[in-house]
Structures are given as C-alpha cells and as structure tokens.
Amino acid sequence: MTKYTPFWWEDQPQYKNNDDLPLDADVVVIGAGYTGLSAALTLSRSGRSVVVLDAEDVGFGASTRNGGMLGSGHKVSTVQAQRQYGSEVAHKIHTEANSSIEFTTNLIRDESIDCDFQQCGRLRTAWTPQDHISMTNNMNELKSIENFDSRMVGSEDMHKSITTGLYFGGQLYGHHGSVQPRKLHYGILQLAINAGAQVFGGFRANRVERLSNNLSQGFKVHVPEKFIKCRHVLMATNGYTRPDLSKYLSRRVIPVPSYIATTEDIGTDMVDSLLPGGHCIVETRQRYCYYRATPCGKRIMLGTRAAMHQITPKQALPKIIDMLNGIFPSLGGVGISHCWTGLTGFSFSKLPSIGCSGGVYYALGYCGNGVAMAPYMGHKVALKLMQPDKEQSVFERTTLSTKFYYHGSPWFLPFASAIFRGHDIVDNYRRKNAQKKDQSQL
C-alpha cells in the first residue's frame, strides 16, 4: 500500500516548541526551512535574538520533501546571464553557485550533521544529441571562468553510470552529492536552537506591520491573537509565499510543484545494477526526471513534473510509474512505497535573489536547486541584514521581477504543462531521427 507522505519522514523525530511565544525579538524569521534556519543560525551566533515562525509543523515544507540532491546548478546558462547582467555578474553567478555547494558541504562536515551525506557525483543526462553539444559548450565556458570538477561522458560510456539506453551521453559533476533531506533539516534546526534561536511551528504569520515610516522603529509580526515586536523581519518562504502575507514577494515567486516517489525495497543488487555509478541523475528533457538511490541503497527515488500545476500525489502516481518504467523497464510491476509532492519556488529570472523591500529582507527563488543554495542564501541574507551597506552576494543583483498577469495565483501553470508537453514532442521527434541515423551507420 502506497503512503502519500514523504519517504524521508519515516521514523524521524518531529520537533515541537512548547515554550510561550516571545513578545519581542531582534529578528523574526518567517519560514523554518533550510533558508530560515540557516539565517537564524548565523544571526544567533552573531548575538541577535531570533524567533523563527512556520505556519505548519517545523519541517513540513520543501526542505524535507525534496530529492536530497546536493548540487550547484541553476537554470540560466552563462551566455544568458551575460546577455542580461553583463560578464562580471555572470561570472560571479557561476562562482557563487560553486560556493553554495562548498558552503553546505562544509556545514555538514564541520558541524557533524548526521544526514547520510555522500559525495556521489551528479550526472546530467542528454535527452537529445543537441543537449550534449550544448552542455559541452556551456561546461567549457564555465571552466574558463572558474575550473570545477566536471567532465563530459560520451554515450558509449554511459553504461558505467546507468543501465538504460535512453540518453545521448551526459555531464558528470564530481563534487555534487546527496543527503537525507529531513535529517539535514533537523541538523540545521538543532544548530540554530543550540545557538539560541527560538523556533515555533504552527504559528501562522498573518501580517507584517511596519511601526512607522522610520524603519528603525521596527515591525509587528501578527500571529493569531498576539504579535511579536521586532527590529527586523526576514522572509524565507520560497514556494510557500502567500499573497496575504506579502503581495510584493508572492508576485515574484511562482509555486511550482514537484512529484516524487520511492520504490519498495528492491535490494542493493538490483539498485547497483541499474545505477552502477552510484550517481544522482537529472535529465535535460523539458518534463524532466531526477532520480537516485535512497541512502540505504535498496530503493530508487524518482521525481518528475507529473504536472506543472498542483494535483494530488495519488493522481500523480500513475504518471510517475510510467516515467520510472520508461527509464528502467525491468522495474515494471515493482511497488511504490511512498509518493508525495512539495512546492519549489521559481523566479521569473530563473535565478535566486536576496533583497529588502519595505524594510523586510528576503531570500528565495531557488528554482528547484535549493538543497545546497538555500542554506547558503540563508547565511548570506543574514549577513546582509546585519551589514546592509555591504554587498554579500551577487544574488543581490539578480532581478526579482514580476509580470503584469501574475498576482500570486499561478493560473497559467496548466497552460505551461501543455507547452512543456509540446517541447517533449519536438524533442522526441529529434531523438527518433538521431536514433535512426545512428542505426543506419551501424
């Protein structure tokens, strides 16, 4: 029987703070995911009194629902970034993307966070021959800016990493890794609490009220039947940003669901035979899949865009099974133990952003790359809050824009699903032509 809750939650502790909610603090952080807790850790260690609020149980959101892939990627190529921001910013985007994985990896190691961390590498697989060419060109461009541990894999060597004939080669990122995301979240939570932060789940922030036009007077953060007075507010809600809490931010971050499932226990031999390289895998196709072995090595986890808009995990399950069986036909008939969904936060620029609007600081817009980026950005936005006149990150310069048609409710996502399906049709046509060409040359 499939459970429609995250596999990562099984047998994991649930934190609950039974203390009374404080009436004042230096900083109120709204959102108790990776970003909020990392920011709380940095602020608390710097001597600030910090209260972290989450509308749901602590750890309810995407920080414990993701695929646990620790990577430095982002959705914008160097050429695109140069076109929009210029060479200097484009280069810094690349170097900070690498810094994010270094930061989070060091956090795990230096603080001895028990989260099943493995530096297993991540393989980005080419769905079409053109994807392989584009990846090669982009990798060479990035290495000219700052060298990093990555190499191209030809189609003839893919069997060393994965047992499927779907892909036209790929790009291997050797320094990427994997974690058990619930354990990583709990580890950062404990660090923040030990540093002095007070973290409360089940306290829905209804309104942020500025006390005067003079920002030095601070804010009131309203929760049911009370409020907290504070000097600063930090929004760390990403894909769970509500229009009733922040119209400004909700117009600039799009909640896009991801759907994930894990197989039943199929044994380490079967998993090793399908993923002999032990890597995390991500695809280049528009309605992409990402998958990996679970930390125990006995199951395969697969996530995909079963839909761009929100449907239930039960509705998504048949589509996930089809995608899984398309990659690994030998798993036909294998049971699914868990299937769930969570919300990622996409910006229109396809890049994360740090900033301050109306005196309220924020860090969000990870576009599905938050496992490494969110703890890093939480740290950086905390530094920005404490030293507002100093640039802490290039992501202060990335555009957090909106569109005239978007007011916080992503009504257009079903249409986006249709567009992505159209892209898949075109890509599949290219694939078949390439496969016919390969066969004719045999």
d(CA 347, CA 276): 35
Residue 267 has pLDDT above 80, yes or no: yes
**Structure confidence at residue 309 (pLDDT):** 86
**Structure confidence at residue 51 (pLDDT):** 98
Beta-ladder partners of 338 = 3, 262
Considering the chain, what percentage of its residues have pLDDT values greater than 70? 98
Grouping H, G, I as helix, E, B as strand and the rest as coil, residue 325 is: helix
Up-side HSE of residue 90: CA atoms within 13 Å toward CB? 18
Residue 240 and residue 363 in contact, taking contact as beta carbons nearer than 8 Å: no
Measure the CA dihedral 66/67/70/73, to 10°: -80
Q: How confident is the model at residue 135 (pLDDT cuts 50, 70, 90)?
A: very high
Q: How confident is the model at residue 72 (pLDDT cuts 50, 70, 90)?
A: confident
Instruction: Tell me the average pLDDT of the chain.
Output: 93
Query: Could you count the other beta carbons within 10 Å of the beta carbon of residue 133?
Result: 13
> Which has more confidence, 143 or 151?
151
Entry pTM = 0.95
pLDDT in tens, 367-393: 999 999 999 999 999 999 999 999 999
- Pairing mode, strands 24-30 and 50-54: parallel
- Pairing mode, strands 170-173 and 122-125: antiparallel
Task: Classify residue 408 as left (phi > 0), alpha (psi -120 to 50) or beta.
Answer: left
**Helices marked H in 46-86 — which ranges?**
78-85
CA dist list (Å): 18 to 41, 50, 115, 293, 404: 20, 16, 26, 37, 43
pLDDT in tens, 333-375: 999 999 999 999 999 999 999 999 999 999 999 999 999 999 9
**Structure confidence at residue 429 (pLDDT):** 74
**Structure confidence at residue 438 (pLDDT):** 65
Residue 420 has pLDDT above 90, yes or no: no
pLDDT in tens, 24-41: 999 999 999 999 999 999
Query: Could you count the other beta carbons within 10 Å of the beta carbon of residue 327?
Result: 22
Q: How confident is the model at residue 426 (pLDDT cuts 50, 70, 90)?
A: confident
Helix (H), strand (E) at residue 335: none
DSSP letters for 409-437: --TTHHHHHHHHHHHHHHHHHHHHHHHHH
Query: Could you count the other beta carbons within 10 Å of the beta carbon of residue 119?
Result: 14
In CATH terms, the fold of domain 122-174+256-344 is D-Amino Acid Oxidase; Chain A, domain 2 (3.30.9)
d(CA 75, CA 349): 9
Burial category of 412 from C-beta neighbours within 10 Å (exposed 0-12, middle 13-18, buried 19 and up): middle
Measure the CA dihedral 264/267/269/275, to 10°: 30
Domain covering 7-120+179-253+347-411: architecture:
3-Layer(bba) Sandwich (3.50)
Grouping H, G, I as helix, E, B as strand and the rest as coil, residue 66 is: coil
pLDDT in tens, 300-330: 999 998 888 899 999 999 999 999 999 999 9
- Tokens representing 208 are 């942020």
CA dist list (Å): 41 to 62, 66, 250, 341, 373: 19, 22, 25, 28, 16
Residue 175 has pLDDT above 90, yes or no: yes
Residue 396 and residue 387 in contact, taking contact as beta carbons nearer than 8 Å: no
Residue 364 and residue 241 in contact, taking contact as beta carbons nearer than 8 Å: yes
Query: Could you count the other beta carbons within 10 Å of the beta carbon of residue 357?
Result: 13
List of residues 6+ apart from 160 with CB closer than 8 A: 276, 277
For the chain, the structural domain boundaries read: 7-120+179-253+347-411, 122-174+256-344
d(CA 61, CA 29): 15
Q: How confident is the model at residue 418 (pLDDT cuts 50, 70, 90)?
A: confident
Considering the chain, what percentage of its residues have pLDDT values greater than 90? 83
As a whole number of Å, the end-to-end CA separation of the chain is 46
**Structure confidence at residue 422 (pLDDT):** 81
Residue entry with tokens 């898949």: 424
**Structure confidence at residue 436 (pLDDT):** 65
Residue 302 per-residue DSSP state:
E
Residue 146 has pLDDT above 90, yes or no: no
Residue 7 and residue 68 in contact, taking contact as beta carbons nearer than 8 Å: no
**Structure confidence at residue 287 (pLDDT):** 75
Mean pLDDT across the stretch 149-165? 95
Residue 10 has pLDDT above 70, yes or no: yes
